[in-house]
Amino acid sequence: MLFPNHTMSGYVWEELIDNIFKTLPPKSLLRFRCLSKSWCSRIGSPDFIRTHALRFDKNLQKVLVKHWTYNKRRGMEEFYTLHPEDRLPLSHRHGYTGIGKFPCNDCSIVGSCNGLLCLFHHEIGTIALWNPSIRHQLTLPPHPCMRNYSSQASPRVALGFGFDPVTDDYKIVRISYYTFKRVEPTSMVYTINTGTWRAIASPTTRLSNVQCSACFVNGALHWIVTEQDNKDHCYIISFSLSTEVFGRVLLPEPSSEARELTILKDSLAVITGECHNPRIWVMREDNNVASWSMFFKLEALPSEGGIHRVLLLTTNRDLVFLTYCEGYKVYNPATGVRSRLVKFNARSYQLEVETYAESLVLLNKGTACNGNQPPWLRPKKRKQKKKTSG
């Protein structure tokens, strides 16, 4: 008994259960939903899903690795594996906390937030939200410009995905622009609560290039952009999901040095310099240009052919980055050791890496989509011996 000398009131008991539930992983909560109607209703309520996403231990953040594999019968397949941050690099059958199939092929990850992945389907231009923990998917309706997507005169598109704590809503922002036409960009936002697209005020300058996917930090989306009238000058445009207003953030070095934005331990970071010797800058204070500070310098090995991206800083303070010739690597600055991110013998032709925190978001929305194991973990079928007569 929890309280041997006292009678626990129903209210205290219910509150205790809620506090326990909010600390449990989604996999356990899905099982508990089957035990009683009241627990099923409680765990599936919007209030519980919201508070669980905010209170579930952020230290349990995972690394999601997307694998492209080829199967003779099924063709190209896309699978994901989940791994704790402190167990990199990855080895065969070690440290997996989730394995499954992506709900669609030929899609890229736009962003990750509170257990949701925003996926963009390249071939048909559709956008979907997907929660691998509960395997629920929500496909967004076509935006008003969708009819022009396949046209040769169609604009380029940049996307961003994040959570607005003020309205308690997840939002997807779409910026469309023309590289050469003297036309100002147009912007739209989709919100889960309304289930609709609507137009918003766009940046007032004509853009020639925008980083395809935004970085979501401290309630705002960020892209590196280049203007048509000054292609040697780059800067960051920000978009507050609460006020839905675009802003401008200056870069720490000459703008021509900027290559890409990333997120390192909940801070906005920018990668500058040449690919053989990139520099990593971190903004220590949100929206404070003076707080840019040099975080790290990397030097590519000759065999790596240069460093393409810097993705994350793990709980062990290892850097995960993408090289041109040797794929994803894990680098420990303290020991100087570099290792391939994936060591097991899987027929993965391409990888994509994203941080991921488990949640129940979309449990009461979207549709369930079942997955199966990747080919290198499927049990081999035993050949049946032919019976001989006699």
Cβ(102)–Cβ(351) below 8 Å: no
pLDDT in tens, 178-200: 888 888 899 999 999 999 999 99
Distance (Å, whole) CA 348 – CA 70: 8
pLDDT in tens, 272-318: 988 999 999 999 998 888 999 999 999 999 999 999 889 888 888 89
- Whether residue 47 has pLDDT greater than 60: yes
pLDDT band at 344 (very low <50, low <70, confident <90, very high): low
Cβ(120)–Cβ(110) below 8 Å: yes
pLDDT value of position 118? 95
pLDDT value of position 377? 41
pLDDT band at 1 (very low <50, low <70, confident <90, very high): very low
pLDDT value of position 3? 39
Per-domain residue ranges for the chain? Answer: 10-53
- Both tokens assigned to 348: 């993965």
pLDDT value of position 57? 60
DSSP labels, 52-102: HHHHS-GGG-EEEEEEEEEETTTEEEEEEEEEEGGGPSB-TTSS-SEEEE-
Which sign, positive or negative, has the C-alpha torsion 209, 212, 215, 219? positive
Distance (Å, whole) CA 189 – CA 175: 9
Cβ(26)–Cβ(359) below 8 Å: yes
Which of 103-117, 142-156, 208-222, 236-250 has the lowest average pLDDT?
Answer: 142-156
On the question of a cis peptide bond just before residue 89, with omega within 30 degrees of 0, the verdict is: yes
206 alpha carbon, distance to own chain's centre? 28
Global pTM?
0.85
Count of positions (residues) in the chain: 390
Distance (Å, whole) CA 106 – CA 68: 9
User: The sheet that has 196-200: what strands, in order across it?
Assistant: 156-164, 169-177, 186-191, 196-200
What is the percentage of the chain residues whose pLDDT exceeds 90? 34
Please report where in the chains the tokens 């040697």 appear, as a residue.
Answer: 232
